[in-house]
Structure 1
Amino acid sequence: MTLRSVQMCVATLSVIVLATTGYAWGTLREFTSSISGDLRINNERDSPDGATDILLVGKDSRTDAQGNPLPDEVLRKLRASDAGGHLTDTMILLRIPDDGEHARAVSFPRDTMVDMGEFGTNKLNSALNRKRVATLRELKAEGVTDERKLARESRIAGQQFLMDTIEDFAGVSIDHYAEVNLLGFYKLTQVVGGVKVCLKNPVDDPNSGADFPAGTQTISGADALAFVRQRHGLPRGDLDRIVRQQVFMSGLARKMLSAGTLGNHAKLRELMNALGDSVLLDKDWDVLDFATRMQDIAAGDITFETIPVEMTGPSSGLAADPSEVRRFVDNLLLPPEEREAARREAERAEQLRAETEVNVYNASGVSGLAGRVRDDLDEDGFERGAAANAERMREESVIRYSSDREAAELVSEELGGITVEQSSQPEPGTVSVYLGDDYQGPGARKFTGTGGVRLDGRTTNRALGTHGDGSEQLGDGKSITADGVPCVN
């Protein structure tokens, strides 16, 4: 069982709430200095990207914020064993545009396969620990024996490497880093008096300890941990767990931004104590300055998203195209009206795909290539056409159409930008793809699989149940915000 990144966004929101109340600013400044870690972020090499980006990381660690092991009685309360490690599971990137009027929290599923440079392609949740272990070995080889120094330096290296990996993958410049553990989340949910959630169906999962009836209910403590940890028995496994986390975070934000919490000084003090057990911030984060810029954000202006992924990828991971992820993350900063325009464009593109038959011809000599590419296009929503060998080989790939250039361009986007040309041969409503020796797109690099559809801001991800802009579709066609209690699996 693993804890997900719901805690980090919660912790950050908690700090924001504490600061924006105007209560005990001097105390808060002292408090935030006590939870600052050793990580320093230097983004001088990065150009401004229009937002403050905060990486929120949850480690399934059985220690407190100072690295001390949690007692057995505490672990029993948390329904956790003592076998936690340094995997970071799902990460959340909180994007706050420079105008400070809204916030977007985007989840990075833990099993997303990413390029880690020196470590090759691996699941994202292993990045921090891979670098931590490698650095630990290097330091020991250099003769370092001080255990505190070994732990500190290797931890910082892992944190920095995780940030670098996500920056490269998502095309952002991370400004701040927050990390939380199990115990603080447990305490935090109790301090606020629980969070209201809604389930479509009853659940009973012994793996996570989740045992809830269907319908609306208020949960806290160990039950809250079980709610956000469950993935066994859910239709889409880890992806449904992410939705759980997002609706829980939205509920907690709503609860904490309510007058009942903000006006209760005793609860604010309890929140500080809970966060002291749970969160580490980067060393140079001026939380008070940050909070001043966040004061105008209301509950309904915090929206939760998930990056576009394929549910089946290499090594049982989730496949994701970095270029599509970068476009998606960039689009999070668009004003609502522009995002709505992008959503409408995506719906039109989906309809055009469904109306376009694509025939694929292998002119490269690579065995089975046409069939793999046709399957990929079928998953992307195009009408299934023929897959066959071409009459002659070609060096360059080409897509031919008779009257439907827009449809041909959609096919080209899916296949990596193949040249499009008009021809009298394909019938109206049909596009012909000829794969030459130069083809390196989906199918050639095994970027295929069932159950998922790639998303680039113009397509609709049917398998993940999202709109074309990537927002989760929970039955009402809206993104997850802190303004309501949507029912989930």
Structure 2
Amino acid sequence: MEQRPARPDQSGRRIGLRLLAATVSAVVLVASGIGWHLYQDLTGGISTSDVILGGTPKPAGTDLNILLVGVDSRTDAKGRPLSRQLLAALRSGAEDGVLNSDTIILLHVPADGSRATGISIPRDSYVDIPGYDKNKINSAYPAATLEAAGKLRNSGEDEAAVDRESKTAGRTELIKTVEQLTDVKIDHYAEVNLLGFYNLTNAIGGVQVCLKNSVKEFRSGADFPAGPQTITGGAALAFVRQRYGLPQSDFSRIRRQQVFLAAVAHKILSAGTLTNPVKLQGLINVAKESVVLDSGWDVLSFARQASNLAGGNIQFMTIPTTGQTSNEHGDVVTVDPDQVREFVRQQIGGSDGSSTDVSSSATADKVPPSQVTVDVRNGTGKAGLASRVASALSKRGYQEGQVGNIDAPAASSVHYPPGHQDAGDQVATLLGGVHTESDDAVPSGTVRVYLASDFSLSDIRSDTDSSSSTSESPSAPPPPIGPPITAEGLPCVD
């Protein structure tokens, strides 16, 4: 049985997204009429990754959903290590060997390009990760990257290929996780690293933000007075990095990120940056060094579509959450996927409230449960667990198969007969997103569940079994973190 890599530790000081360097840089080139040669210069040197799987690319002039990701990387977009001097300027802290996607924003741009809605997903959101355990959402990228890297090295690939292809696997896994959580099909992907954020603020001459109170916090390096101020470079990193000493921890940090990103967008789109050749070339250089886009993105078509954003009609908000708790993965933010999907549908839907680009429901059963028999093998050493899991699945309409005990496997998994992945994925999702694999030994019409020490009844989705109560006690939901942030005005934040 295949053993999955240990999940990376999610603790530590991270950096928030450095937004819109990928998309806005292209928009400003076209919208300002600077010239075709500069557009070619941008797109000719930018890094791409083949991460959007399946389906036909959307034609120009249709609604688009873009996943904007900020990664805590000590390399440039092409995987080249940053110098010690530059790392010191970034105030990035010690390298821990884990590539985290610590800022995740779903950006919706409607067909007419008249507005944009950015929806932040807290990095500690405790969600189902397809093919893996339930975990913090920012573990999806590194977990899949580590697993793919191991397989690639074992197959004899050189390190350049390992780095490139394993990161593609990580990005793809994150996209799948966001799609499952939000029930939205991602059309395009844009990733920016630490260097990009640092250079972006320098390229546009800093951005203006406002703090309610003065702050000095050593972990992030944040040292700011109260009131309006212009920040750039390392100070900008500290502004969006800080989470300690804030009234709502990571939620306050998300609010800062949104304020900062709105300010960046406003300055790029309306403060003369477009007509300044030096600043414009700086944006181009930022994109080349620090941005990764999906390989199928026609940036010129998008730029034409989004040119109306110059009016500043951009707003940011955050998905609803249900509480905060601690488990084996550390401090996590609990979410209700159905509540998240409804919230997203309302925010990006049309005037009648209908969603424009929502895929078929992630919770809908592709295979009728009544047509699937589930065998359960218990390797945890906990008496009666197989029967309890079988009973929980039976209440969801699945047919109870054989239950029994086995020697402890390396990790929990769901095996399905060849050609029946949909049935295996459905059961794996109900069990908290455990690993799945094809198995010739499993008869047609059956899936087989193997329970290891990493499984707990609390991993089962809450609506599958009323008796599977969790020992974790989520706190009360975090208080609202304010109205949507827009690209107009200067709101003061914590």
Instruction: Work out whether the TM-score is over 0.5.
Output: yes
Equivalent in the alignment of 2:278: 266
Contact 1:177–1:281 (CA<8 Å) still a contact in 2? yes
* Native 8 Å contact 2:212 2:227 kept in 1: yes
Contact 1:144 1:150 in 2 (8 A): no
Instruction: Give the aligned residue type for 1:27.
Output: L
Mapped pair 1:302 → 2:307: no
Indicate yes or no: 2:476 matched with 1:464: no
1:317 aligned partner: 332
Cα-to-partner distance string for 1:427-459 (whole Å, 9 max, x where unaligned): xxxxxxxxxxx994699456852231xxxxxxx
Report if the CA contact (8 A) 1:35-1:280 is conserved. Answer: yes
Q: Deviations over 1:252-306 (max 9, x none)?
A: 1111112421221221112111222211111121111100001112443100011
Which residue of structure 1 lines up, in the alignment, with residue 268 of structure 2?
Answer: 256
**How big is the shift at 1:99?**
2.9
Secondary structure of the 1:325 match is helix
Map 1:42-53 to 2 at 5 A. 42-44=53-55, 51-53=63-65
Q: Is the 8 A contact 2:220 2:238 kept in 1?
A: yes
Secondary structure (helix, strand or coil) at the match of 2:49 reads: coil
**Would the aligned equivalents of 1:2 and 1:89 in 2 still touch at CA under 8 Å?**
no
1:449 paired with 2:474, answer: yes
User: In structure 1, how many angstroms separate the alpha carbons of the residues matched to 2:472 and 2:275?
Assistant: 53
Q: Is contact 2:26-2:300 (8 Å) kept?
A: no
Q: CA deviation at 1:118?
A: 2.4
Q: Measure how far apart 1:30 and its partner are.
A: 3.3
- The answer to whether the aligner puts 1:92 opposite 2:105 as a matched pair is yes
Preserved contact between residue 2 and residue 229 of structure 1 (Cα < 8 Å)? yes
In 2, distance between residues paired with 1:441 and 1:480? 39
* Distance of aligned partners of 1:73 and 1:252 in 2 relative to their CA distance in 1, 3 Å threshold: same
Is the counterpart of residue 41 in structure 1 residue 46 in structure 2? no
Higher mean displacement: 254-263 or 302-311: 254-263
Native 8 Å contact 2:15 2:194 kept in 1: no
1:241 has 2:253 as partner: yes
Larger radius of gyration: 1
- Correspondence for 1:101 among 89, 114, 119: 114
- 1:132 CA drift (Å): 1.0
Contact 1:54 1:174 in 2 (8 A): yes
Residue 485 of structure 1: aligned partner: 490
Of 303-312 and 244-253, more deviation after overlay is shown by 303-312
Per the TM alignment, residue 18 of structure 1 is displaced from its structure 2 partner at its CA by 2.7
Q: Alignment partner for residue 129 of structure 2, among 113, 116, 120?
A: 116
- Stretch moving more, 129-138 or 8-17: 8-17
The reply on whether 1:210 has 2:222 as its aligned counterpart is yes
Give me the whole-angstrom Cα distance separating, in 1, the residues matched to 2:106 and 2:25.
16
Q: 1:442 to 1:260 in 2, by over 3 A?
A: farther
Q: Give the letter aligned to residue 476 of structure 2.
A: G
Q: Are the equivalent residues in 2 in contact too, given 1:198–1:488 (CA < 8 A)?
A: yes
CA apart distance, 1:98? 2.1
* Matched ranges for 1:146-157 at <5 A: 146-157=158-169
Give the whole-Å Cα distance in 1 for the aligned partners of 2:88 and 2:288.
21
Q: Does 1:329 align with 2:356?
A: no
* Counterpart residue number, 1:55: 67
Relative to 1, partners in 2 of residues 1:312 and 1:265: Cα closer, same or farther, differing over 3 Å? same
Q: Which residue of 2 aligns with 1:425?
A: none
Distance 1:286 1:442 in 2: 50
- Give, in angstroms, the shift of residue 329 of structure 1: 1.0
Whole-angstrom CA distance in 1 between matches of 2:491 and 2:352: 23
- Contact 2:198–2:233 (Cα < 8 Å) also in 1: yes
Retained in 2: the 8 A contact 1:3–1:228? no
Q: Distance in 1 between matches of 2:351 and 2:214?
A: 35
Match of 2:186 among 146, 171, 174: 174
Q: CA offsets per residue over residues 30-70 of structure 1, 9 Å max, x none?
A: 3213213232423418999x730111111101111111111
1:285 is matched with which residue?
A: 297
Distance 1:168 1:177, change over 3 A: same
- The whole-number CA distance in structure 2 between the counterparts of 1:90 and 1:201 is 24
Structure with greater contact order relative to length (CA < 8 Å, sep ≥ 6): 2
Name the SS for the 2:348 alignment partner: coil
Query: Which stretches of structure 1, 4 residues or longer, exceed 4 Å deviation after superposition?
Result: 45-48, 335-339, 438-443, 445-448
Q: Find the counterpart in structure 1 of residue 364 from structure 2.
A: none
Per-residue deviation, 1:149 = 1.6
Give the secondary structure class of the aligned counterpart of 1:127: helix
Once the two structures are superposed, residues 141-181 of structure 1 have per-residue CA deviations (whole angstroms, 9 ceiling, x without a partner) of 3x324111222221111111111111111101111111111
Letter in structure 2 aligned against 1:13: V
- Verify the 8 A CA contact 1:107 1:305 in the aligned structure 2: yes
RMSD: 2.6
CA distance in 1, matches of 2:467, 2:188: 35
Residues in 2 aligned to 1:288 and 1:231: alpha-carbon distance in whole angstroms: 37
User: 1: CA distance between counterparts of 2:316 and 2:300?
Assistant: 24
Find the counterpart in structure 1 of residue 31 from structure 2: 20
Partners in 1 of 2:345 and 2:221 — Cα distance?
A: 37
Task: Give the stretch that moved more between structures: 166-175 or 144-153.
Answer: 144-153
Q: In the TM superposition, what whole-angstrom CA distance separates every residue of 1:182-236 from its partner, at most 9, and x where no partner exists?
A: 1121111012111111101110000000000111111111000000000000011
Letter in 2 for 1:52: L
Query: Is the CA contact 1:95–1:103 (under 8 Å) kept in the aligned structure 2?
Result: yes
Q: Distance in 2 between matches of 1:63 and 1:486?
A: 33
1:275 partner letter: A
1:196 to 208, 216, 231: 208
Q: Where does residue 417 of structure 1 map in the other structure?
A: none
Q: Is the 8 A contact 1:176 1:281 kept in 2?
A: yes
Number of residue pairs matched by the alignment? 371
In the TM superposition, residue 7 of structure 1 has moved relative to its aligned partner by 0.8
Q: CA 1:54 to 1:338, structure 2 compared with 1: closer, same or farther past 3 Å?
A: closer
Offset of residue 108 of structure 1 = 0.9
Alignment of 1:132-143 (within 5 A): 132-141=145-154, 143=155
SS at 2:228 equivalent: strand
Q: Deviations over 1:393-417 (max 9, x none)?
A: xx9xxxxxxxxxxxxxxxxxxxxxx
Partner SS state of residue 189, structure 2:
strand
Q: What residue in structure 1 maps to residue 362 of structure 2?
A: none
Flag the 1:254–1:145 CA change in 2: closer, same or farther, 3 A.
closer
Structure 2 distance, partners of 1:328, 1:175, is 19
Contact 1:3 1:58 in 2 (8 A): no
| Residue identity in the other structure for 1:100 | G
Which of 218, 221, 245 matches 2:233?
221
Q: Distance in 2 between matches of 1:162 and 1:322?
A: 16
User: In 2, distance between residues paired with 1:481 and 1:336?
Assistant: 20
Letter in 1 for 2:345: D
Distance 1:246 1:318 in 2: 19
